[in-house]
Amino acid sequence: MPADTVYFAHISDTHFGPTAGYSRHGHFPLPCAQRLVEVLNTLPVRPAFVVHTGDVTTHPDPAAYRLAAETFARLEMPIYYANGNHDTAAAIRRYLPMGPKEDAGDDPERLSYTFEVKGYRFLVLDGRGPDEIDPQGLLPPSQLALAAGEARPEGPPLCVFSHFPVLPLNSPWMDNNMLLINGEALHQALRPAAGRLRGVFHGHVHQPMQNVRDGILYVSVASVFSQFAAWPNDLVARYDPNHPPGYNFVHLTPRQTIIHQHTFPRPP
């Protein structure tokens, strides 16, 4: 069991556009991301790293990724990325530097890797599916096999990062449109590691949510700029104009996982 506590910041769904003036859902992604960087750099406790669980951009436009790279280069800690349905693995590799890691597989269409910090192990999976199923995700057999290989009962504490929610969220439009199609298969692959699995962290839903099944914690995070509504009576997608941007600050202690959900004022 690790003796140290590791802190990291979980962010997602920045949706950079190709220009500083780009807007989406009535909000401007760039100033929100810039403000987030300022917030993370001035936290009273420094995170060991930041993980971005996908949708760095709205379209995989080189100009948008350059804006993202320029913005996140100001972070004073390493950053890691998962591949979102609005991203491509090739674009993330080309434009966005990351912290030390070990690639898992040689498929150029997949962004999957592991890294370790102070005795904790972190796995990034790529569930981006073919365009015809967007915005749903789909893990290919190689990614399921990777998850199963990491999810042994014995080993260091493990966290998994991906873009798509794995299990239903009791919001009809999300459950019909946003899930990892074979999320049940991933859940079953991870079950042997439930005793050391400290959380499965994802984005995509533009809301902070948590659910637990079979002892496995699944955690999402607010978008850095714009939030979805996700009530049990929501049949179609809609946006919450009053919900501010946010991020999660995660504590991995030797015996538990603690998640602080934070918001910050939207820049004018």
- Whether residue 1 is predicted with pLDDT greater than 80 in this model: the reply is no
Predicted pLDDT of residue 266: 93
Q: Is residue 268 part of a domain?
A: no
The residue that leads in pLDDT, 143 or 242, is 143
Predicted pLDDT of residue 105: 83
The residue that leads in pLDDT, 107 or 54, is 54
- Whether residue 268 is predicted with pLDDT greater than 90 in this model: the reply is no
Q: What whole-number percentage of the chain has pLDDT above 90?
A: 92
Predicted pLDDT of residue 249: 98
Q: What whole-number percentage of the chain has pLDDT above 70?
A: 100
185-243 pLDDT, tens digit per residue, is 999 999 999 999 999 999 999 999 999 999 999 999 999 999 999 899 999 988 887 88
Q: Is residue 139 part of a domain?
A: yes
Predicted pLDDT of residue 106: 83
Predicted pLDDT of residue 2: 80
Q: What is the DSSP track for 221-240?
A: ---SS-EE---TT--S--EE
Predicted pLDDT of residue 26: 86
Q: Which of 110-114, 134-138, 235-239 has the least mean pLDDT?
A: 235-239
The CB-based long-range contact list for 129-132 (8 Å cut-off, 24+ gap) reads 129/85, 129/181
How much is the pTM? 0.97
Q: Is residue 57 part of a domain?
A: yes
What is the band of 69 on the pLDDT scale with cuts at 50, 70, 90?
A: very high
Q: Is residue 1 part of a domain?
A: no
Tokens matching residue 155: 């080993």
Asked whether 217 and 252 are in contact (CB, 8 A), the reply is: no
Asked whether 50 and 70 are in contact (CB, 8 A), the reply is: no
Q: Is residue 61 part of a domain?
A: yes
Q: Is residue 15 part of a domain?
A: yes
Predicted pLDDT of residue 3: 79
Alpha-carbon gap, residue 173 to 125, rounded angstroms: 24
Q: What is the total count of domains within the chain?
A: 1
Q: Taking all residues of the chain, what is their mean pLDDT, rounded to a whole number?
A: 96
Q: Is residue 203 part of a domain?
A: yes
Q: Which domain holds residue 97?
A: 6-263
Predicted pLDDT of residue 197: 98
247-260 pLDDT, tens digit per residue, is 999 999 999 999 99
Q: What is the CATH number of the domain that holds 140?
A: 3.60.21.10
Q: Is residue 233 part of a domain?
A: yes
Predicted pLDDT of residue 239: 87
Alpha-carbon gap, residue 22 to 28, rounded angstroms: 6
